[in-house]
Structure 1
Amino acid sequence: MPNDAPFSAGFAWPAPAKINLFLHVTGRREDGYHTLQTLFQFVDLVDHLRFHQRGDGQITLQTPLADINHDDNLIVRAARRLAAVSGAPIGVDIELDKRIPVGAGLGGGSSNAATTLIALNRLWNLGFPADELADIGLPLGADIPVFVRGHAAWAEGIGERLSPIDLPEPWYLLLLPPVTVATATVFADPALERAHARVQFEDYSSGICVNDCEPVTTRLFPPVAEALAWLRRFGPARMSGTGACVFLEAENRAAAETLAAQADPAWRPTVVRGLNRSPLAAIMRGL
């Protein structure tokens, strides 16, 4: 089998980033989880993972990330959870080519976990349908289900109630200030809006939806506030998730690249395309 085939050890399984086109916090459950409304879209900023099966049941990440303990990494936790749920005795060594910044509000960790679940489901011949994989992943991260299902979506609940949606797929300029934002820090802040009235898609289309995390993040992390203020000189820029990424929709790729050239290099300006279908979903359709 050629080394670019999805069942080969050399195949690079994609794990795309997402952006939140808005994010409202509508309440807080008794278990501490916040209820949300948000609109997810993927972008073509992508991590890649490679999986090498081993026969001793051990699961290891060969390319660990700085400041994240090996056993706490969502890749490792997802693989171990799938092995436990399935009873599969097979182990795996995992390589990660990391391009999505950690703590940027782009869902990189959740996307890595979702790709791990999907890839190992295939490589270990487990046969779980996507809905079950999403349920397996949900306790690890509320964003994991949207990455498993692979379609842009309107989301509610803690992020797991998904309604697939087709949106325009514009070019965006992302700015990635050099800070790492911990989601738990933002959601624990007493100033966070927690009672936003529920909205409909028509409200988003009319432009009234916001990101409720933005006031907290920009107060706690001044570089995010600076990047967002600069980007808003050129249009209605927004923040993704709890940050630190801020983004602006551009008229086309050339316009995004022109603006990127003017941005402070410390913000790591990155031009991306919006995607309604995850590149991972495209691979799974072809198998």
Structure 2
Amino acid sequence: MQSRCAAMTSLLVEKAYAKINLGIKIVGRRPDGYHDILSVAQCVDLADVLYFELASSDQLTCSLDSLSTGPDNLVCRAVDAFHAQLDRPAQPFRIHLEKNIPIGAGLGGGSADAAATLRALNRFYDQPCSDADLRQIAATLGSDIPFLVEGGTALLRGRGEILEALSWEGKVFYVLAYPEVEISTAWAYGQLGPILTENSPYFNFVVSLSGGCVDHDRLFEVLENDFTPAVERTYPIVAELRSQLDRVGARATLMSGSGSTVYGIFDDRKTASQAQSALQRQGCRSFLCQRV
């Protein structure tokens, strides 16, 4: 009811699309403590929704009671970062976040919310920031937020903030399975073993990408996620979900980001829908998605 009422009265409504990593390879450790990565990332149509209303002071509410709505929330941080760049008085907002993307799931939910906030505010103030400006603000908030500002499909480099848009033809369906396990990105990076890029088909494929259209049939053959071994050792349910998706007809399966969400790739909606139904019968929270 909250979201329906908000939709009728809100000045601005912005969707925050989840992302999946179609593979992720760690290619180096940096002096600043971060890691360099290579990853093909893609936004899918699972989304949070943000509703903006004019107010006398900034306020954030959320459909999920357990999520902090204080100044540490990325939505609040995005508002502050955007307003810091304005050359005019800032308008306070009451923002309601309808949370649909699982938390700690490797789907970039919090980052997507921040990206959607930046887009919405830029629209409200009549586009004072160029796309490059928004990406620059986004990079101060998180490594994957510049990509989520842009959306689509992209090759990510550096910490994830360096992106190159990729085109994508054809239709595939993703069934996302969330095992109700929240995984800290910092923990996942701390579990990484030796960084190995030699003889990695995924690495060799991704470094050859340079714009143009992704050969997704080839990409799906070489998918690799360097976080998977440690996550599956600690959380066997992740490996079990991948096996279940294999058994119900997925052409490939992988964990997204640092986990814990696993996805299966399907060529047709009917098979994907049947796979999702099978997971739901077992009590697994799952989503049938397409790219956006």
Verify same fold: TM over 0.5.
Answer: yes
- Worse-superposed segment, 131-140 or 192-201: 192-201
The code of the aligned residue for 2:288 comes to: V
Residue 261 of structure 1 is matched in structure 2 by: 277
Measure, in 2, the Cα distance between the counterparts of 1:230 and 1:9. 42
Mapped pair 1:270 → 2:270:
no
Q: Deviations over 1:214-264 (max 9, x none)?
A: 111112222222212222333421111011111111121111011122225
Post-superposition offset of 1:119: 0.5
Say which of 163, 184, 187 aligns to 1:185: 187
- Worse-superposed segment, 216-225 or 245-254: 216-225
Residue 247 of structure 1 is matched in structure 2 by: 263
Residue 284 of structure 1 is matched in structure 2 by: none
Measure, in 1, the Cα distance between the counterparts of 2:53 and 2:67. 24
Paired-residue identity, %: 32
| RMSD of aligned residue pairs (Cα, Å) | 2.3
Residue 74 of structure 1 is matched in structure 2 by: 74
Contact 1:90 1:124 in 2 (8 A): no
The code of the aligned residue for 1:180 comes to: E
Post-superposition offset of 1:174: 1.1
Measure, in 2, the Cα distance between the counterparts of 1:94 and 1:254. 37
Post-superposition offset of 1:42: 1.2
- Worse-superposed segment, 191-200 or 98-107: 191-200
Residue 155 of structure 1 is matched in structure 2 by: 156
Contact 1:23 1:37 in 2 (8 A): yes
- Worse-superposed segment, 114-123 or 79-88: 79-88
1:96-115 matches, cutoff 5 A: 96-115=97-116
Q: Are the structure 2 counterparts of residues 158 and 53 from structure 1 closer, same or farther at C-alpha, using a change threshold of 3 Å?
A: same
- Give the 3-state SS of the residue equivalent to 2:252 in structure 1: coil
Residue 62 of structure 1 is matched in structure 2 by: 61
1:210-249 matches, cutoff 5 A: 210-233=224-247, 234=249, 235-249=251-265
Post-superposition offset of 1:151: 2.5
Residue 137 of structure 2 is matched in structure 1 by: 136
Contact 2:44 2:291 in 1 (8 A): yes
Q: Deviations over 1:136-166 (max 9, x none)?
A: 1112111111111223101111111111112
Mapped pair 1:46 → 2:63:
no
Contact 1:192 1:213 in 2 (8 A): no
Q: Deviations over 1:6-48 (max 9, x none)?
A: 9x83442111111111000001111111100000111111111
Structure 1 gap segments, 5+ residues each: 1-5, 276-287
Residue 278 of structure 1 is matched in structure 2 by: none
The code of the aligned residue for 2:267 comes to: E
Contact 2:12 2:120 in 1 (8 A): no
Contact 2:223 2:254 in 1 (8 A): no
Residue 171 of structure 1 is matched in structure 2 by: 173
Q: Deviations over 1:85-112 (max 9, x none)?
A: 3254321111011111111111111111
- Give the 3-state SS of the residue equivalent to 1:71 in structure 2: coil
Structure 2 gap segments, 5+ residues each: 1-6, 210-215
Q: Are the structure 2 counterparts of residues 67 and 223 from structure 1 closer, same or farther at C-alpha, using a change threshold of 3 Å?
A: farther
Measure, in 2, the Cα distance between the counterparts of 1:105 and 1:169. 23
Measure, in 1, the Cα distance between the counterparts of 2:253 and 2:260. 13
TM-score (norm 2): 0.84
Post-superposition offset of 1:65: 4.8
Q: Are the structure 2 counterparts of residues 69 and 116 from structure 1 closer, same or farther at C-alpha, using a change threshold of 3 Å?
A: closer
Post-superposition offset of 1:172: 1.1
Post-superposition offset of 1:273: 1.1
Contact 1:173 1:272 in 2 (8 A): yes
Q: How many aligned positions are there?
A: 267
Residue 15 of structure 2 is matched in structure 1 by: 14
Measure, in 2, the Cα distance between the counterparts of 1:271 and 1:116. 25
Q: 4+ residue runs of structure 1 moved beyond 6 angstroms? A: none
- Give the 3-state SS of the residue equivalent to 1:12 in structure 2: strand
